[in-house]
Amino acid sequence: MPEKTYFTMREVSRKTQVPEYTVRYWEQKFRLLRPLRLSSGHRRYTQADIDALFEIKDLVFVKGYSLEGARKALAAKKRQKKTSQAAAAVTAGAKSELLEGIKKELRQLIKEL
């Protein structure tokens, strides 16, 4: 059976063990949660939304963050992820340049032989 792509509010509430009204409230407080809205107004959540809810739940209920603190922590985590990805891209670019330089040197050596 193929894995589901979208989940209803009830399914999300059961999976995350967070009441539906809390999920709706968190949607207002966290830009990270933006479920698809059908023309009927019903929400459809993706797995990414569910993962975000688990992360928020952990920060608020387990680690004791306020909603504002949890929002800031998630934003900081997102920024850190972006900077690490940028650093990885720079490193990959530097490696590529190094390899190109080595190739040129090897070609030059082959020509000299």
Tens-place pLDDT, residues 39-59: 999 999 999 999 999 999 999
Answer whether residue 88 is part of any domain. Answer: yes
Please list the residues that pair with 44 across neighbouring strands: 36
Answer whether residue 94 is part of any domain. Answer: yes
Total number of domains in the chain: 1
pTM higher than 0.85 for the full model? no
Answer whether residue 100 is part of any domain. Answer: yes
Tens-place pLDDT, residues 15-36: 999 999 999 999 999 988 999 9
Among left, alpha and beta (phi > 0; psi -120 to 50; other), residue 51 is alpha
Please list the residues that pair with 43 across neighbouring strands: 37
Residue 96's pLDDT is: 77
Phi, psi for residue 39 in degrees, rounded to 5? -60, -25
Q: Using an 8 Å Cβ cutoff, are 70 and 26 in contact?
A: no
Answer whether residue 78 is part of any domain. Answer: yes
Answer whether residue 4 is part of any domain. Answer: no
Residue numbers of the domain that contains 14 = 9-112
Q: CATH number for the domain including 60?
A: 1.10.1660.10
Residue 1's pLDDT is: 62
